[in-house]
Chains A and B, each alone.
Chain A
Amino acid sequence: MIFSRTLKCVALLTACVVIVSGCRTPSTDLTDEGLLGFDDIDAVDGGGIPLGARFEDGIPITDVHFENVLFGYDSFVVESSQAAKVEAVADYMRRSPEVRLVVEGHCDERGSRDYNMSLGESRALAVRAYLVGLGVDGGRVQTRSFGEEQPQDSGHTPEAYRLNRRGVFALFR
C-alpha cells in the first residue's frame, strides 16, 4: 500500500510536470504498452478448467427449472447475490448423478457480436467453475455461448439488458 501511495504521488507529479510543460505530443507511441504491464494478470477466477468431450445426444429435462444467474455489464463475475442460484444447481447435480448440464452464456445487445460471444462463454465458464468448486464433476458440465444472439427480452431497456446478461441451466439426462 505504501509503495502504491508513493507511486501515486510520483504519478501525479509526473502528470503535473507534463501539463505545466504544455508538452510535445506524448506518445500514443505503440511501444509504450509496457506501462500497462499486463503480463502479471492475477489468476483469480473462472477458467482454466478444461472442458470435457461434448454430449449432444442427451434428453432435455423439462420439469426441473433453475433461475438464471444474472451478470453485471461487461462482467462475468458470479456476484454473491447470485451464488445461491448456482448452489441450488450444485445440490441438484450431486443428488442426481445421471444428469448432465449445459450452462448457456448470454449477453445484452451492447458491444460487438464477436466480443459478446467470448463474453457469453466467459460467463458460462464462470458458472461452471463455481459448480466445480462446489464439488460437481466438470465432465458433467458443458458450456455454450450464444453471445447476444438469443435475448430473453427483445427490448432495448436497462431492464431488458439486465435480464439478458445471464447464465441459463439446460439439463439433460
Chain B
Amino acid sequence: MDISFLIVQFISGLTMATLLFLVASGLTLIFGVGGVFNFAHGSFYMLGAYLAYTFVAGTHLNFWVAVLAAAVGAGILGMLAESLFLRRIYGRAEEEGFQILLTYSFILIIDDLVKLVWGTEYKSLSRPAGFGGSLIWGDITLPTYNLAIIGVGLLVVVGAWLVLSRTRPGRIARATALDRETMGMLGVNVPLTMTVVFGIATALGGLTGALAAPLRSVTPGAGIEVIIDALIVVVLGGMGNFWGAWLAALLLGEVNAVAVATVPEWASLFSYLVMVVTLIFKPEGLFAPRQVRKV
C-alpha cells in the first residue's frame, strides 16, 4: 500500500463524505430549524436524480443547469408536501410520531409515483462535458467529476454558513428553531418560514441526488438506502448540528472508502459498525455537547 493509493482512496472517501453531508445537511436543517423529522428526505434525493435525468436526457439542458433545476424542482415539491400535508399535523398531540408516519407515507407514495412516471428500469446519467476524465499525476488518478462534487460541497457549506449566520432570514430561521410560538408572537411568519426551510432542505436533498446520479445509477427505491445513511450521519453528528454532521459524514465517507478497497462485499456494513461502536462508547453522538438534562 503506497502513498498514491492512499491519496486516491482518500479522495474517493471525500467524495462520498461530501454527498453524505449534503444529503444529511438538509435533513438536519429541517429538524434543527423546524423541528420536523423528514423521513422521506431520501425520496427527495431520488426525485432530484430523476429530474436531473429528465432535464439532461429529455430537454438537453446543460448538466449543471439541469442539476440546479432538479434542486429547485425537489425544493418546490418539498414546499408542496409541507404546505399541503405536513402543516396539518403541527401542534397535534404526539406530533413527532405522526411526523414520522406521515413522511413515511411520502416515501411509499413517491416510490410508486417515480415508477409510474419514469418506469422501473435503471436510468443512467453521464458525467458533464469537461468532467469525464481524470487528473493524472504520476500514480495518482483522480476523476475530475469527484473533485467537482467536493468543490460543490465546499460551496454549499460556506454558503449555508453565511446565510445562517449573516443574513436576517438565516437568523430568523435559527430563532424559529428555538420556539415556533414565541417567534409567531414576535411577528415572524412562522408557517411561511417553515415552508421555505422545508423547501431549502428538500432542495439540498434533490441537489445531492442530481449530483450523485452520474456516479450511481438512478433507481426507484433509492430513497430508503440514502435516508438510512443520512440518518446514521445525523445520529453520529447530533441531530440539528450542522458541523457535527460534516465531521460524521467525513468519518463515514473515509471508513467506507477503506472498506470498499479492502472488503468490498461487506462494505455496506461499515457505516452500521461505526454507529454501533459510537452508541456503545458515546451514546449522545460523537460531536454532541454533553448534556446533563434529565427532566
A associates with B? no
Q: Chain A residues in contact with chain B, CB under 8 A?
A: none
Q: Chain B residues in contact with chain A, CB under 8 A?
A: none
